Structure 1
Amino acid sequence: MKLLKTDLKNNVLQSMINLMDTNRAELLSANKKDLEAFSKDDQAMYDRLIVDDKKIDSMITSVREVMQQEDPIGQTISHRVLDDGLEITNKTAPFGTIMIIYESRPDVTIEAAVLAFKANNKIFLKGGKEAIHSNKILVDFWHRALNENGLDNSYIQLLTLNRQETQDFLKNPSEKLDLIVPRGGERLIQFVKEHARCAVLVSGRGNNFLFVDKTADWDKTIKVILNAKTDKISACNALDKILIAKDVPDYEAKLKDLEAILKAKGVELLVDSETQKILKDEPIIPNDDVWHEEFLALKCCIGTVDSLDDAIEKINIYSGGHSATIMTNSKEKAIQFMENVDCAAVYQNASTRFTDGGKMGVGAELAISTDKLHHRGPLGLKELVTNKYYIFGDGHIRE
């Protein structure tokens, strides 16, 4: 694929900013159609679907931030000259063509496309049918921005396919796919892995854990739990599971305090058998499957563990590999937790809600990767590249 000059790419992004800003009414009208057609039974998905002026401002900010970032293509990773004079340079290069599959979030149509385009990739956007009107108008804006700068529509394309058509596309795409990013639940990820013919980078489930150590500051713990659990239930970085060390001072009183505070916020609780000895009115966690579950709702599990090692083991068995927090005033325990918990982001005394490209200084993100190759955590502009070796010789042969 032809490499585009940085100025040209940035001109497209500036055109997109102008189009979104001056055509707000058109976008809001399209989103209203999506909202009216959507059942509110799934509140988390409904929340993701909403576009208002604040969300449009956020989209514009995402595009502007990417526009201002350094072009990630052609950056030197390493350079060496061998003893025989052979010159070897490793540089960043585009993936080629990316496909992303996602549900109900029109802002992904902006963030995914802006990152892919600035990194000189083409992208297929397979958004959910619930956001079809919003996505169509946003991709129309993208096409106008491309055309205004002498580029065709092939860089950013919207796929409006049903399940069977998506399966057929994965098996026989209209052009070679180099990377697929499924953003969603286990069924979607397995579906893509089963049918894809190229690399798949998983943006997996959240199911994030918080462990309360005996040295934790209780007031800070409550503050962090409330933010992580109730600030935005539809986010993949929301909290689902709380583990409390049995040796926490005033263990019984603190459990009851936590119960009262969460219930006052409308959070449904499930507890393990040890915790239920104290929180007698709360239903017990019915089976192990619940420990694996990402709720995306005002719902939370509370469990009791005997030690830090027990907490680490439980998190590594059940979490989605996304984010985990330890509340402790012991730096030694924090480091032990952070080094041994197998998650993309690990925290001491902070909310899991910070696992976000913008909050972590990456800017716009394609997804939060829970894979280990080729990147883990927020997939920002610098992560949407691969590499290529440039070798310069003078008649060199290998003997």
Structure 2
Amino acid sequence: MELLNSDKKNKVLQSMINIIDAKRSEIIAENKKDLDAFKRDDQALYDRLVVNEAKVDDMIQAIKEVKAQEDPVGKTISDRTLESGLNIQNKTAPFGTIMIIYESRPDVTIEAAVLAFKANNKILLKGGKEAYHSNVVLEKCWHEALAENDLDKTWIRLMHINREETQEFLRNPTEPLDLIVPRGGERLIQFVKEHAKCAVLISGRGNNFLYVSKTADWAKSISVILNAKTEKISGCNALDKVLIDKNIPNYEAKVKELASVLENANVEIIVDKDIKSVLSDKEEVAGKEVWHEEFLALKILLAEVDGLDQVIEMINEYSGGHSASIMTSNKAEAEKFMEQVDSAAVYHNASTRFTDGGQMGVGAELAISTDKLHHRGPLGLKQLVTNKYYVFGDGHVRV
């Protein structure tokens, strides 16, 4: 694959900024076609689909931020000369071709492409049918930006294939693929892992937990829970489960207060059998599958726990490995929680809503990875490269 210089890549990104700004009315009009065709039975998916003036501004800002970042390709990781005189350099290098499969979210067509391209990767974009018109017009913008700078449109391509054809492509790709990032439900992720012929980086579900310790500041806990649950229900970093230590002072009164606050915010509450004794009018959790569920709705599960060890065990068993938070004034307790909970992001006295590239200082993100290879958390520009060894000799042979 050709290595483009930074100036060339940045010129493409500047062209894209200008094109999107000039065509914002057309982009919003095409998005309206998708919105009009969408059955609003899934509010979270609908929210992700919307493109308005503010969203176009966000797209432009994402491109500007990536354009301003240092090119991640060709950076020296190590450089050493052995006693034999052999010089060995390890440098960052592009993956090659990345494929991303995603639902709704036309902004991913911008963020995924800008990150992949700046890291000198080609990218195949497989968006959902619900965002068809939005994605097509954004692909046209990318192709215009590439053409303005004498580059082939194969750098950034929208895959115009249906679900069955996508599955067949994964089984038998008709072109080289180096990395696949699935952003969707469990069935999609499992299928990709099973059938992909290349590396797969998992962008997993949320199902995020928060633990209220017996030493927690209660007022701060309520504020954090409310923010994590209601600030954006469609976010994969939204809160789903709250575990309340039964040893907290004024336990029953505080549980009732939390329930009242959540109800005032129109949050549906379900409870475990222990909390049911305090909130008798609430529906009791039906089965284990609910503990594994990512709600993506104004819905929350409240449960009673007895100490940190139980909390760690529950989170590691049921959560999606995305984000988990502890509310406590005990630093040792927080440290144990953060070290032993197996999630991509762990929090002390803070909302899970901060698991986001922009909020974490990474900038635009391809996805939030819950995988351990090769990176966990926001996949920003620096995470879209691999490495390559350059070995320089002078007729060296191994003996």
Same fold (TM over 0.5): yes
3-state secondary structure, aligned to 1:279: coil
TM-score by length of 1: 0.99
CA distance in 2, matches of 1:180, 1:244: 38
2:343 is matched with which residue? 343
CA distance in 2, matches of 1:331, 1:133: 51
1:172 is displaced (CA, Å) by 2.3
1:174 is displaced (CA, Å) by 2.8
1:329 maps to 2:329: yes
2:365 is matched with which residue? 365
Q: What do residues 354-391 of structure 1 show as CA deviations (whole Å, max 9, x unaligned)?
A: 00000000000000000000000000000000000001
3-state secondary structure, aligned to 2:284: coil
2:197 is matched with which residue? 197
AA aligned opposite 2:105: R
Q: What do residues 207-249 of structure 1 show as CA deviations (whole Å, max 9, x unaligned)?
A: 0000000111111111100110000000000000000011111
3-state secondary structure, aligned to 1:70: coil
AA aligned opposite 2:230: T
1:105 maps to 2:98: no
AA aligned opposite 1:364: A
CA distance in 2, matches of 1:328, 1:351: 13
CA distance in 2, matches of 1:216, 1:342: 22
1:394 is displaced (CA, Å) by 1.1
Q: What do residues 237-292 of structure 1 show as CA deviations (whole Å, max 9, x unaligned)?
A: 00000000111111100000011111111111111111111111111101010000
3-state secondary structure, aligned to 1:125: strand
3-state secondary structure, aligned to 2:278: coil
CA distance in 2, matches of 1:272, 1:160: 45
CA distance in 2, matches of 1:161, 1:297: 30
3-state secondary structure, aligned to 1:77: strand
1:385 is matched with which residue? 385
CA distance in 1, matches of 2:252, 2:88: 64
1:191 is displaced (CA, Å) by 1.5
CA distance in 1, matches of 2:64, 2:40: 32
CA distance in 1, matches of 2:103, 2:340: 32
Give the total of aligned pairs.
Answer: 399
CA distance in 2, matches of 1:174, 1:71: 30
AA aligned opposite 1:270: I
User: Any unmatched runs of 5+ in structure 1?
Assistant: none
User: Any unmatched runs of 5+ in structure 2?
Assistant: none
Runs of 4+ in 1 over 3 A off after TM superposition: none
1:163 maps to 2:175: no
1:44-83 aligned within 5 A: 44-83=44-83
CA distance in 1, matches of 2:148, 2:303: 57
3-state secondary structure, aligned to 1:303: strand
1:37 is matched with which residue? 37
1:169 is displaced (CA, Å) by 1.1
AA aligned opposite 2:235: A
CA distance in 1, matches of 2:20, 2:121: 22
AA aligned opposite 1:28: I
Q: What do residues 320-365 of structure 1 show as CA deviations (whole Å, max 9, x unaligned)?
A: 0000000011111110000000000000000000000000000000
1:318 is displaced (CA, Å) by 0.2
1:129 touches 1:160 (CA, 8 Å); kept in 2? no
CA distance in 1, matches of 2:140, 2:172: 25
1:318 is matched with which residue? 318
Q: What do residues 20-73 of structure 1 show as CA deviations (whole Å, max 9, x unaligned)?
A: 111111101000000000011100000000000000000000000000000000
AA aligned opposite 2:34: D
1:258 is matched with which residue? 258
1:221 is matched with which residue? 221
Question: Percent identity of the aligned residues?
Answer: 69
AA aligned opposite 1:73: V
AA aligned opposite 1:189: I
Q: What do residues 301-332 of structure 1 show as CA deviations (whole Å, max 9, x unaligned)?
A: 01111101100110000000000000011111
1:135-150 aligned within 5 A: 135-150=135-150
1:176 is matched with which residue? 176
AA aligned opposite 2:317: I
2:20 is matched with which residue? 20
CA distance in 1, matches of 2:60, 2:23: 12
CA distance in 2, matches of 1:160, 1:248: 55
Q: What do residues 139-194 of structure 1 show as CA deviations (whole Å, max 9, x unaligned)?
A: 10000000000001000000122121001111222311000000011011012112
3-state secondary structure, aligned to 1:132: helix
AA aligned opposite 1:394: D
AA aligned opposite 1:253: A
1:229 touches 1:239 (CA, 8 Å); kept in 2? yes
CA distance in 2, matches of 1:318, 1:220: 25
1:5 is matched with which residue? 5
CA distance in 2, matches of 1:161, 1:329: 53
1:96 is matched with which residue? 96
CA distance in 2, matches of 1:264, 1:223: 13
1:129 is matched with which residue? 129
CA distance in 2, matches of 1:355, 1:115: 18
